[in-house]
Amino acid sequence: MTQLETEIQAIKIEVVSMWNLVESQLQKSRTAMLHFDRDLAREVVLKEKRVNAFELKLDRDCENIFALYCPVAIDLRFLLAVLKINNNLERIGDIAEGIAKYIIESVTDFDHALYAKTELMRMFDDSISILADARIAFEKEDTILARSIFKRDEVLDTINRNAIDRIAECIQEDITAMKDALYILSIIRKLERVGDQTKNMAEEIIFFVEAKVLKHQKESTGKN
């Protein structure tokens, strides 16, 4: 194994470690919300500093490899993909922190009846599931699994689109539910962005493995 290959492998291990941390943050924010565990929510907020530290280190490590080895072909694509994936993971970490902050700010537990009406918990579970599968796709360089993310993200988009009507119905039925309903709507919006960030990472996996830029293909399709 060359020195460049060793450095690339070390970067991959770092990315997976960051990915695991971000998954854990999202899972803990879900648990904290379900059980109104404000201490766990505070833990999520505190650990966000670790996510930010990971992002900075990965950026520096990639920059060092560019400077020292001038990588080409798949190594270059891998590093370019990692820089974007790194940014996406940091944003998902921010989302988990934001949800945790809602829990800390709330004086009482949210109305769990709203969870069922809005499909919030399903959205949480699906967000965590596709994030985990995107990590596996990255580790195994599995573009088939990466492509499966796109279809599954559509479920999150559908729940998000339906949320405003369901929230409005809940408020009409019980005006006192307005505060909880608005919190839950905000959380749904955040989880929809988790899907978008994960989809972006799936595109980067396909880019570095297959040298296909899906964004450009979509733009070309849209112009025809």
Q: Determine the 3-state secondary structure of 211 from DSSP.
A: coil
- Which residues in 122-153 are b (16+ Cβ under 10 Å) and which e? ebbebbbebbbbbbebbeebbbebbebbbebb
**How distant is the alpha carbon of residue 48 from its chain centre?**
14
**Structure tokens belonging to residue 119:** 């499909």
55-82 pLDDT, tens per residue? 999 999 999 999 999 999 999 999 999 9
**Structure tokens belonging to residue 110:** 């949210």
Q: What is the pLDDT of residue 215?
A: 64
* pLDDT < 50 regions, the chain: 216, 219-221, 223-224
Domain spans of the chain, in order of start = 3-217
Full-model pTM:
0.92
Size (the chain), residues: 224
CA atoms of 183 and 198, how far apart (whole Å): 23
**Structure tokens belonging to residue 50:** 């670790």
Q: What is the pLDDT of residue 218?
A: 53
What CATH topology corresponds to 3-217? Methane Monooxygenase Hydroxylase; Chain G, domain 1 (1.20.58)
Phi, psi angle pair for 64, to nearest 5°? -65, -40
Q: What is the pLDDT of residue 121?
A: 95
Q: What is the pLDDT of residue 216?
A: 44
CA atoms of 28 and 36, how far apart (whole Å): 11
Would you give the DSSP letter of residue 220?
H
> Tokens 């974007």 sit at which residue?
84
Q: How far is CA 182 from CA 64, 85, 101, in A?
A: 45, 30, 14
Residue 16 and residue 138 in contact, taking contact as beta carbons nearer than 8 Å: yes
Which of 89, 84, 82, 83 has the alpha carbon at shortest distance from 51? 89
Residue 150 — left, alpha, or beta (φ > 0 → left; ψ -120 to 50 → alpha)? alpha
Largest Cα–Cα separation, the chain: 66
